[in-house]
């Protein structure tokens, strides 16, 4: 692999990082965030929650196991660009079909490398996530700063509508299918998943724990979902600010008490807003596979995968309606809630991503137990 032409990453505050292109040769624009995972770059590429963002990998070499089609979390790549210190020139995984550079070029995703990513991440930690532009080294810096500042802020944007499915579909594959097992689960429950940018492993995990899954567009009405007679509803992960998703918050309010609800990541924020809480934008977000979270009911600590730029304000959670069940031990932000007067709970991380690897798997079992109890009470 031959690394391409010199290029620059210019942030909205005028900070400049010089490096070289790889992947697609076009410019890249978006909010610049960093991810602290050592592996998982392919899952990051396929995560719709990165829509509108330039992702900086903190691990120094990326691409060493190539790209394997089965490992994607969605049907396409959503991030605006990928920034790494060094791109691996070989791929060692026997399952890989192309290199990272080849994949990015084929899917028109800009890459940027050969820079000091440590300095970039430290700057983002100090200054916060910033809008940025990746462009040719010949473009005047002043012009790039103006372009960066013209990028819409994540706050106030409904990004979920850009990534949601346009029509309903069913999902039948489990995590066992991904591993090549022929063992099948008894699918006792019907779960409807609101797609705000859902990751495939959420769907696989639901099937693994005994659910047949129907995925619906994020703007599907609560009445239409209830007409499907679900045993439970999942509000999925997704990109951006939850507060503009008034349709989703209204649907969550309408579903509370009528069916069990499980919220994941953006779905957690939607459920929290429906319960009367408020959200705010984090300084540089939580993006990585190594975030410690405490389950306050057991005092156990889970190693979790997270990807979000907004969080629930703990002071705004109404004690009469909901309780905080999980805390992020890095910064004490809300990592989970339970609604007191309805069978509903949520977490601000990805139990399906398995960085622990099974630390958070009990959440799917809890959801199944909730569906079983609700079903028994309403026969």
Domain span at residue 238? 160-377
Nearest to residue 230, comparing CAs of 198, 259, 268, 252? 259
Residue reference for tokens 């977000």: 285
Considering the domain boundaries, does residue 93 fall inside one?
yes
135 shares its domain with 259: no
Please state, in angstroms and rounded to a whole number, the distance separating the CA atoms of residues 293 and 296: 9
At residue 355, the pLDDT reads 86
Nearest to residue 235, comparing CAs of 210, 201, 186, 269? 269
**109: which residues sit within 8 A by CB, 6+ positions away?**
23, 24, 28, 45, 77, 79, 81, 82, 103
360 shares its domain with 212: yes
146 shares its domain with 261: no
Please state the domain count of the chain.
Answer: 2
Considering the domain boundaries, does residue 239 fall inside one?
yes
Residue reference for tokens 């999902």: 171
At residue 222, the pLDDT reads 98
137 token code pair: 């080294």
Please state, in angstroms and rounded to a whole number, the distance separating the CA atoms of residues 359 and 355: 8
Please state, in angstroms and rounded to a whole number, the distance separating the CA atoms of residues 69 and 31: 27
Domain stops at, among 125, 150, 175 = 150
213 shares its domain with 362: yes
Domain stops at, among 101, 132, 150 = 150
At residue 71, the pLDDT reads 87
**Residue 292 contacts residue 301 (beta carbons within 8 Å):** yes
146 shares its domain with 214: no
175 shares its domain with 260: yes
Domain stops at, among 86, 118, 150 = 150
At residue 120, the pLDDT reads 98
Please state, in angstroms and rounded to a whole number, the distance separating the CA atoms of residues 155 and 276: 19
Please state, in angstroms and rounded to a whole number, the distance separating the CA atoms of residues 181 and 202: 18
Please state, in angstroms and rounded to a whole number, the distance separating the CA atoms of residues 281 and 366: 29
Structure letter (DSSP) for residue 50: G
Considering the domain boundaries, does residue 155 fall inside one?
no
Residue 317: CB atoms within 10 Å: 18
CA 25, chain centre distance (Å): 26
Residue reference for tokens 């990585």: 288
CATH number of the domain where residue 107 is located: 3.50.30.20
88 shares its domain with 48: yes
DSSP secondary structure letters along 261-312: EEEETHHHHHHHHHTT--EEEEEEEEEEEEEEEEETTTTEEEEEEEEEEEEE
**Residue 12 contacts residue 131 (beta carbons within 8 Å):** yes
At residue 379, the pLDDT reads 79
Tens of pLDDT, residue by residue, the chain (379 residues): 556 899 999 999 999 999 999 999 999 999 999 999 999 999 999 999 999 999 999 999 999 999 998 888 998 999 999 999 999 988 988 999 999 999 999 999 999 999 999 999 999 999 999 999 999 999 999 999 999 999 999 999 999 999 999 999 999 988 766 555 556 678 999 999 999 999 999 999 999 999 999 999 999 999 999 999 999 999 999 999 999 999 999 999 999 999 999 999 999 999 999 999 999 999 999 999 999 999 999 999 999 999 999 999 999 999 999 999 999 999 999 999 999 999 999 999 999 988 888 889 999 999 999 999 999 998 7
Considering the domain boundaries, does residue 53 fall inside one?
yes
240 shares its domain with 116: no
118 shares its domain with 216: no
Helix H or strand E encompassing 127: helix 117-127
Please state, in angstroms and rounded to a whole number, the distance separating the CA atoms of residues 195 and 349: 16
Considering the domain boundaries, does residue 295 fall inside one?
yes
**Residue 363 contacts residue 347 (beta carbons within 8 Å):** yes
142 shares its domain with 164: no
At residue 181, the pLDDT reads 57
126 shares its domain with 182: no
Considering the domain boundaries, does residue 1 fall inside one?
no
Nearest to residue 336, comparing CAs of 357, 306, 358, 370? 306
Considering the domain boundaries, does residue 22 fall inside one?
yes
126 shares its domain with 255: no
CATH number of the domain where residue 305 is located: 3.40.50.880
The catalytic site residues sit at: 265, 350, 352
Helix H or strand E encompassing 339: strand 334-339
At residue 4, the pLDDT reads 87
At residue 177, the pLDDT reads 63
Orientation angle between helical segments 362-377 and 200-208, nearest 10 degrees: 60
3-state SS string over 74-115?
Answer: CCCCCCCEEECCEECCCCCCCCCCECHHHHHHHCCCEEEECC
Considering the domain boundaries, does residue 100 fall inside one?
yes
């Amino acid at each position: 692999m031959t690394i391409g032409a010199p290029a620059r990453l210019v942030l909205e505050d005028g900070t400049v990082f010089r490096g070289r292109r790889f992947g697609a040769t076009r410019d890249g624009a978006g909010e610049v965030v960093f991810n602290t995972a050592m592996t998982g770059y392919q899952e990051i590429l396929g995560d719709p929650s990165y829509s509108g963002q330039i992702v900086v990998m903190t691990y120094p070499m990326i691409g060493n196991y190539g790209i394997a089609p089965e490992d994607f979390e969605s049907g396409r790549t959503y991030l605006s660009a990928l920034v790494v210190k060094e791109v691996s020139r070989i791929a060692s995984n026997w399952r890989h079909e192309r290199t990272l550079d080849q994949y990015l070029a084929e899917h028109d995703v800009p890459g940027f490398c050969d820079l000091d990513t440590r300095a970039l991440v430290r700057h983002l930690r100090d200054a916060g996530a910033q809008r940025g532009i990746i462009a040719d080294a010949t473009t005047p810096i002043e012009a790039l700063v103006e372009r960066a500042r013209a990028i819409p802020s994540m706050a106030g944007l409904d990004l979920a509508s850009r990534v949601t499915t346009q029509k309903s579909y069913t999902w039948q594959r489990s995590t066992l299918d991904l591993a090549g097992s022929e063992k099948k689960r008894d699918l006792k429950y019907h779960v409807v998943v609101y797609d705000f940018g859902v990751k495939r492993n959420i769907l696989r995990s639901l099937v693994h724990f005994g659910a047949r899954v129907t995925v619906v567009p994020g703007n599907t009405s609560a009445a239409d979902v209830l007409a499907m007679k679900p045993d439970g509803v999942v509000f999925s992960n997704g990109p951006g600010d939850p507060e503009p998703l008034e349709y989703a918050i209204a649907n969550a309010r309408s579903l509370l008490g009528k069916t069990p609800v499980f919220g994941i990541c953006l779905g957690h924020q939607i459920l929290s807003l429906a319960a009367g809480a408020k959200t705010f934008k984090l300084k540089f977000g939580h993006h990585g596979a190594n975030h410690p979270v405490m389950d306050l009911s057991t005092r156990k600590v889970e190693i979790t995968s997270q990807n979000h730029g907004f969080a629930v304000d703990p002071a705004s959670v109404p004690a009469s309606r909901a309780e905080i069940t999980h805390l992020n031990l890095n910064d004490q932000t809300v990592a989970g809630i339970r609604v007191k007067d309805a069978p509903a709970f949520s977490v601000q991380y990805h139990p399906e991503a398995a960085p622990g690897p099974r630390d958070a798997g009990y959440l799917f079992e809890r959801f199944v137990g909730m569906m079983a109890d609700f079903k028994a009470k309403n026969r």
